A and B are shown apart, each in its own frame.
Chain A
Amino acid sequence: MQTFTYSRARSINELRAVQAATGDRILAGGTTLYDLMKLRIETPDRLVDVTGIAGLDEIISHPDELVFGALVTMSDAAAHPAVLQRAPVLAEALSKAASQQLRNMATLGGNLLQRTRCAYFRNGTEYPCNKRTPGSGCAALEGLDRGHALFGGSGSCIAVYPGDWAVALVALDAVVDVRGSRGTHTIDVASLHRLPGDTPHVETVLEPDEMILNIRVPVGRLAQASTYHKIRDRESYAFALVSAAVALELEEGFVRQARIALGGVATRPWRVPAAEAGLTGRRLDRATALEVGRMTFADARPGRHNGFKIALGAEAVADALMIAAQRSENR
């Protein structure tokens, strides 16, 4: 690990000043950043630790919105009563991610900016990887792609966005408040991550000096009848093979509104509006749920080893819809 300078910011203003002067990279829990530094994928000279900044480690439950400070840890958010009750999809996305030790360190803001687990990307510069070394090619295109994208890939990169939390946020139309040299502004989580296109190394719309301050999630009936269903290679401590974040608003058995987002199968958190529309107005039973599950994967473009996720994903979406429907009835 190369030598770097470490400092701590105690306020946003202090952070702004440090970044303006020396362009320090933001460090939160470090579970992504240090990992990538050890792998020499990230090589920042200067880090500024933001975890001491006051006021960004709270969850506030407003009547129609949950506001998460960017420095809240995954474990605190996953166990928060208002989150569990008002938006189970969020709590489940967090508690089914990583391990307890990681969740204790990792922050909600940092989580959004985790990077792909593509093995070629992580294993060293001897592997062609446009994300790591632009222009070097993509080893995954003709390689081991069991963990790669069925949606949103390009001829340059098919790496999956691995996070769970962002998928749940996208399902609920969440936004982030961001502060940096462009001032303070708000971005939909759905447009935070970019498609790889020809520039897979550019992953988000954030400027390097922009900090996520808050994550705001509209909550109401829809969020309450929600779930995060995650299928993985083991029962804990694994990224998703495929996951489904769904939320439902039912009226006498009929779907008034539905949200469906996919994780583990796309280059960024993946909403599927066509499937949502396909479900709206229908009576929900398992057969309909599976039909909609299949609709969700209608545009999937499988590679060599990940085709099984089309059938698996359809079932996962269907199961998720049934769980959410149950929660709707139980209210």
Chain B
Amino acid sequence: MNETIYPDRARIDALEKVLGRTRFAADIPLPRITHAMTVPSRIVRGRLAAIDIGAARAVDGVLAVLTWRDFTNAQSAGYLMGGGFGFQSHQPMLSDRLVHRGEPIALVVAETLEIAIEAAALVDARYEEEPFAALLEDERAEILAPQAGHAMGDAQAMLASAAFRVDAEYLSPAQYQNPMEMIATVAEWRDGTLTIHEGTQNSSAVKFGVAAALGLDSARVRVKSAYLGGGFGQKNSLQGQTVLAARAAILLGRPVKLVMPRAQLYHTASFRPASRHRIQLGADADGRIVAASYEADMQNSRADTFRASFSEITARLYSIPNYSSTARLVRTDVQSPGYMRAPFEHPAAFAFESAVDELAYATGRDPLAFRLNNDAETDPVTGDPFSSRFLAECLRTGADRFGWSERNPAPGSMRADDGTMIGWGVAVGAYKAAMAPAIARLRVRADGTTLLSVSGHEMGQGIRTAIFAALTEGLEIDPARIEIVIGDPDAAPQHLTAGSWGTASSVPVVRRAVETMQARFDALRDGRSVHGSIHQMLALWRRPYIEVETRLQAPGQPDAVFDRLQRGLPAAGGPEYKPFVSFSYIAHFVEVRVEPTTRRIRVLRVVSIVDCGRVVSPRTAESQVRGGVVWGIGAALRETAEIDPRFGGVLNNDLAEYVLPVNADIGAIEVGFIDQPDPMLNEAGVKGLGEVAMVGVAAAIGNAIFHATGRRLRQLPMRIEHLI
């Protein structure tokens, strides 16, 4: 069991980053590099009847203009969730068929970016348009048969006889990740080897996916993903643009750089789909939730099946004996939606935790006491124990720090001196504690250096810092001369870093490598008492280095998962590990202020207390939570896509018009950790953090708005027009 308490330490790449020295993919300097620009389709659905590249080709400095005719030997690398590698199965530019607005119809490659942009605008196309569905509620959208989610007991019967009931519908709009770093691919073809530099959360999927798409031997495709300027799930698989840039690099014999412009990213990469949630809850006279029913509709593309799983957490937030859930996928003509931070958990917690608040009021109970009264001790779904669950502690600690006992429960009862309406709200969140198989290779050298290669991608969340902490807590090595290689499938097999399993996968395997290294060193030492670092001893004993390789998978996973890992396929396990179930938990307490006249809503302060198991890197962990809360505020009050059903596509496709929160929107955010290691999940005691951080924030804000105003807002984002 891990009793290590990790000290506060700065992010190891912080200095490099603030000095602007960190090299992201688009910064890689390569001789004779060329610049590419895509030409987006101007229709939603139909056929590219004709394309004229003459004017573009004629621009001085243009090297090539590729269309689908240049990709006749290429194929789709398949859909990530269907055994393939791509964020969607539709690879643009394989034929004249067009399936969503903005997909590339041509790729211009030129000596400079400016020339590429100019020439791209000169590509002329003629389309044959077909009718389409842009929105969840569109008539032409195809609603599939409901899929069953979790089911326990008899929810409908118990709802019918419940003393208190809530039946309400909640809406969550399409949202876009908008990482600061746009998706950037640099492709280089040299001596029969293709090298791709791209900030991706899944370098192996890019490697095997590009190989599959272009018919290359995967051994001759190298992928480097050293840093991402944010991923949030948008960079979790092979992008269509990567195949385009790679093909261009092969045809031209020169490196090709393609940085997708932000406006196009709203149509060429994944997003959070729009969803609709009908929640029915019933409570008995003692304020115990006796039944819950959850029916959801979620937007999908035409071709792929991105399954909804809104019940994974909502079936377990409380001890609800009778629970049923179904979800219907709704096919529309968009690119495939995907895993945007807390993909299901954020909208699910908004809906469910709003409904729980409504139920608490219906029973006349304090929303905090109501939640504590319904806490679960064992997993209601499987009946198995939780590996660790400190949700009640999160609630109690948060309530203390927030000052919840001062709250007047009556809606509209708390006012500031100037008449401003004050609202205090609470909501909880959970996220599965998953683990992925990982392999670590650790080499400590006599010359004072250390090389660690391990699975993991640095999205800015601080995984390098966590790995560094695990490495240096356990070994006497020179901390200034450690090289950590991640995001490189040729250094160590790479698993998709997502689903908050990054640290929980990399850190335990590194700890195991550290222990194995220590054992090897002890064996070499053979009882001799020695002074100095491992490096010094190796030098003394004239051994150039010791190397160890360790592997680790999720509890209960068979060794066959390493085969999936080697092939770049998703292989994460959890949250159900026979015989236990693992989740991370959070409780958010929010104070909103609503202006009595114009009804502007401001989030004055948030207190968020997290149970994510052992905290390995306190500083980066805290900033993960702050970032998650900011995401929650954005999702609750700001972000939405403006989509005109007559045209499809996102109209507010830039950072001026897609309203993300700005500094001035954010008040105080206080973060606390329970910091109790999870005894069962892994030796490091680590659960996940990045996603749970935002789960429940939107509900806490909505609940606070209700407390301030007496108005229950059931649609995101909650905006001024809903209160005026």
Contact with B along A202-243 (1 / 0, CB 8 A): 000000000000000000000000000001011111100100
Closest to B722 in A: A308
A315 x B724 contact (CB < 8 A):
yes
Residues of A within 8 A of B656 (CB): 117, 237
Residues of A within 8 A of B659 (CB): 233-234, 238
Q: When A143-B646, A233-B659 are in contact, do A126 and B598 touch as well, CB less than 8 Å?
A: no
Contact with B along A113-156 (1 / 0, CB 8 A): 00001011001101100000000000100111010000000000
Residues of B within 8 A of A235 (CB): 602, 662, 664-665
Residues of A within 8 A of B43 (CB): 126
Q: Complex formed: what's the CA distance from A142 to B646 in Å?
A: 10
Instruction: Identify the stretch in B113-121, B430-438, B500-508 within 8 Å (CB) of chain A at 4 or more residues.
Output: B113-121
B residues 681-723 near A (Cβ < 8 Å) are 719-721
Q: How far is the CB of A25 from chain B (nearest CB, A)?
A: 18
B residues 39-85 near A (Cβ < 8 Å) are 42-43
B644 x A234 contact (CB < 8 A):
no
B652 x A233 contact (CB < 8 A):
no
Q: How far is the CB of B637 from chain A (nearest CB, A)?
A: 8
B647 x A139 contact (CB < 8 A):
yes
Residues of B within 8 A of A312 (CB): 598-599, 720-721, 724
B724 x A120 contact (CB < 8 A):
no
A123 x B651 contact (CB < 8 A):
yes
Q: How far is the CB of B625 from chain A (nearest CB, A)?
A: 22
A119 x B720 contact (CB < 8 A):
no
Q: How far is the CB of A44 from chain B (nearest CB, A)?
A: 14
Interface residue A3 (Cβ < 8 Å from any Cβ of B): yes
B720 x A236 contact (CB < 8 A):
no
Q: When A234-B665, A308-B720 are in contact, do A319 and B597 touch as well, CB less than 8 Å?
A: yes
Residues of A within 8 A of B664 (CB): 234-236
Q: How far is the CB of A297 from chain B (nearest CB, A)?
A: 13
Q: How far is the CB of B605 from chain A (nearest CB, A)?
A: 15
Q: How far is the CB of A174 from chain B (nearest CB, A)?
A: 27
B598 x A315 contact (CB < 8 A):
yes
Q: Complex formed: what's the CA distance from A46 to B662 in Å?
A: 36
B121 x A119 contact (CB < 8 A):
no
Residues of B within 8 A of A308 (CB): 720-721, 724
Q: Complex formed: what's the CA distance from A238 to B719 in Å?
A: 14
Residues of B within 8 A of A143 (CB): 644, 646
B114 x A1 contact (CB < 8 A):
yes
Q: How far is the CB of B33 from chain A (nearest CB, A)?
A: 20
Contact with A along B397-416 (1 / 0, CB 8 A): 00000000000000000000
Q: How far is the CB of A243 from chain B (nearest CB, A)?
A: 11
Interface residue B396 (Cβ < 8 Å from any Cβ of A): no
Q: How far is the CB of B32 from chain A (nearest CB, A)?
A: 23
Closest to B121 in A: A40
B residues 593-607 near A (Cβ < 8 Å) are 597-600, 602
Q: How far is the CB of A264 from chain B (nearest CB, A)?
A: 12
Q: How far is the CB of B686 from chain A (nearest CB, A)?
A: 35
Q: Complex formed: what's the CA distance from A17 to B339 in Å?
A: 58
Residues of A within 8 A of B602 (CB): 235
Choice from B644, B665, B720 contacting A231 with Cβ under 8 Å: B720
Closest to B661 in A: A234
A231 x B661 contact (CB < 8 A):
no
Interface residue A311 (Cβ < 8 Å from any Cβ of B): yes
Q: Complex formed: what's the CA distance from A1 to B662 in Å?
A: 29
Residues of A within 8 A of B114 (CB): 1
B638 x A233 contact (CB < 8 A):
yes
Residues of A within 8 A of B375 (CB): none
Q: How far is the CB of B262 from chain A (nearest CB, A)?
A: 12
Q: Complex formed: what's the CA distance from A127 to B597 in Å?
A: 37
A residues 132-184 near B (Cβ < 8 Å) are 139, 142-144, 146
Residues of A within 8 A of B644 (CB): 139, 143-144
Q: Complex formed: what's the CA distance from A2 to B120 in Å?
A: 11
B residues 623-665 near A (Cβ < 8 Å) are 638, 642, 644, 646-647, 649, 651-653, 656-657, 659-665
B638 x A234 contact (CB < 8 A):
yes
Q: Complex formed: what's the CA distance from A34 to B664 in Å?
A: 27
B598 x A231 contact (CB < 8 A):
yes
Please classify the interface of chain B as helix (H, G, I), strand (E, B), loop, or mixed, using the class held by over half of its residues: loop
Interface residue A78 (Cβ < 8 Å from any Cβ of B): no
B118 x A231 contact (CB < 8 A):
no
Contact with B along A98-121 (1 / 0, CB 8 A): 000000000000000000010110
Interface residue A265 (Cβ < 8 Å from any Cβ of B): no
Residues of A within 8 A of B652 (CB): 119
Q: How far is the CB of B544 from chain A (nearest CB, A)?
A: 53
B651 x A120 contact (CB < 8 A):
yes
B665 x A144 contact (CB < 8 A):
no
Q: How far is the CB of A256 from chain B (nearest CB, A)?
A: 25
Q: Complex formed: what's the CA distance from A142 to B647 in Å?
A: 12
A117 x B657 contact (CB < 8 A):
yes
Residues of B within 8 A of A315 (CB): 597-599, 724
Q: Complex formed: what's the CA distance from A227 to B11 in Å?
A: 45
Q: When A1-B114, A234-B665 are in contact, do A126 and B719 touch as well, CB less than 8 Å?
A: no
Q: How far is the CB of A307 from chain B (nearest CB, A)?
A: 9
Choice from A1, A142, A144, A241 contacting B720 with Cβ under 8 Å: A241
Q: Complex formed: what's the CA distance from A2 to B652 in Å?
A: 24
Residues of B within 8 A of A126 (CB): 42-43, 647
Choice from A1, A123, A233, A238 contacting B117 with Cβ under 8 Å: A1
B663 x A236 contact (CB < 8 A):
yes
Q: When A308-B724, A312-B720 are in contact, do A234 and B662 touch as well, CB less than 8 Å?
A: yes
Q: Complex formed: what's the CA distance from A126 to B129 in Å?
A: 12
Interface residue A318 (Cβ < 8 Å from any Cβ of B): yes
Residues of B within 8 A of A144 (CB): 642, 644, 651
Q: How far is the CB of A103 from chain B (nearest CB, A)?
A: 14
B647 x A127 contact (CB < 8 A):
yes
Closest to B663 in A: A236
Closest to A123 in B: B651
Q: Complex formed: what's the CA distance from A237 to B657 in Å?
A: 10
Closest to B646 in A: A143
Q: Complex formed: what's the CA distance from A3 to B118 in Å?
A: 8
Residues of B within 8 A of A237 (CB): 656, 662
Interface residues of B (CB under 8 A from A): 42-43, 114, 117-118, 121, 597-600, 602, 638, 642, 644, 646-647, 649, 651-653, 656-657, 659-665, 719-721, 724
26 residue pairs of the A-B complex, CB under 8 angstroms, read A1-B114, A2-B121, A40-B121, A117-B656, A119-B642, A119-B651, A119-B652, A119-B657, A124-B42, A126-B42, A139-B646, A143-B644, A231-B600, A231-B720, A234-B662, A234-B665, A235-B602, A235-B665, A241-B720, A308-B721, A312-B598, A312-B724, A315-B598, A315-B599, A316-B597, A319-B598
- Give the 3 A-B residue pairs with the shortest CB-CB distance, closest first: A235-B664, A308-B721, A119-B651
A117-B656, A231-B600, A235-B665 are known; give 20 further A-B pairs, CB within 8 A: A2-B118, A123-B649, A139-B646, A139-B647, A144-B642, A144-B644, A146-B642, A233-B638, A233-B719, A234-B638, A234-B660, A235-B602, A236-B663, A236-B665, A308-B724, A315-B597, A315-B599, A316-B597, A316-B598, A318-B597
